[in-house]
Structure 1
Amino acid sequence: RYGESVEQRNNICLSCHKSGDRMHWLSSTNEAEDLACVSCHSIHQPNDVIERTTQTEVCFECHKDIRSQTFRASTHPIRENKVICSDCHNAHGSAGPSSLKQFTVNENCYSCHAEKRGPFLWEHYPASEDCTLCHRVHGSNHQALLNKPGPQLCQQCHADISAGGGRRHISNFLDFNDADRNRARFKVGMNCANCHSKIHGSNHPSGAALQR
């Protein structure tokens, strides 16, 4: 109503809608940004933010940086509405980071990518710690939503390999004077995952190097 503050208008809604998914509203990012309920919700007409086919467009009115990421080469199917914002986020606030529906990034991802959860006999600890150490979740110009292309991504942690740790690794594949031409296939499209394919973890008894 005219002349009322955002807090006063929101309190009218919260007098009924204050439980369930809205219990964290008072500590949410949107509340801190002084966002009114009616900024997203329509009161007496069809509610675009609830419908799967229209929700993302409502969110993108503010989150334009996220919208731009969905046009990158590798994305979740967000623009196709197969994955929508509320599949991962609770706009009314949550106990997790970035208004995620789960307590951690990984638990959020595992709700769809259950095969990556483990436990594995051989863990790849960055993968079990935080998916975003390697992946850019809304969109990336690298395959599989990666932050960087391989092997640069892996070399952020495995610096000993990039410095020449062993004849099997990347620094040797870059040596175009190498007489062993059997390894030339790695010089085009080279990627650590060409060999270490079980990058999220392995249950094979001989899978310590995540190769099987």
Structure 2
Amino acid sequence: MTALLLAVTGCGSDAGAAVRPADAPAPTKIVEQTVKSALAGMIVLPRGFVADPKHTTGPFSTETYLANFSAEPALDRALLLNSGFVEGYRASRLSPDKKKRYVVELFKTATPAKAKVLQEGFWSQEPRNHPFRVPGALSNAHAAYDAGTEKNEAIAEASFVSGSLVALLSVRQSAPLGTTIRPDTALISDLTQRQRTRLTTGSS
């Protein structure tokens, strides 16, 4: 009788073990894999700049780009679709004094030719009439009043193509009305050249 009870108890113990959520960590591994991006290791960031808590850093898909970063979702959807967009990555950093925000975005397309078309499509969406010299890249710098923040804003930006990748870079800073502010063309020029070198080295 005792043996029988032990046998039943043993079976009950085994049954309990069988229904334990032993495989629970598996979904976590799947999530981790989905957020990894080979583009993350190809981003060049300015020295001394710090994490930007208000702006996203990480990979993006077509849908997340359109929902969070695009100023022209309908147009950008068509551009990304026509380019054979594969994946993207965006990084944002702040200067130590929090006055400058640097953003770099990489877009991986199907072919180098389609990357060039995507770059031109992005660049032509806004008037960019103040270029400055950045070898091998499109560039623009301007300062204007921002009605949203009621401050003066200065923007220096550049874009280039490396193989099937499109890179968009910008440095933005703002100041109260009546304050003279100039786009940081020196910083964006340096970062553009270092980013081009990194992508060329990474793809070779």
What is the TM-score when the length of structure 2 is the normalising length? 0.26
Task: From the two aligned structures, give the one with the greater strand fraction.
Answer: 2
Structure number with bigger Rg = 2
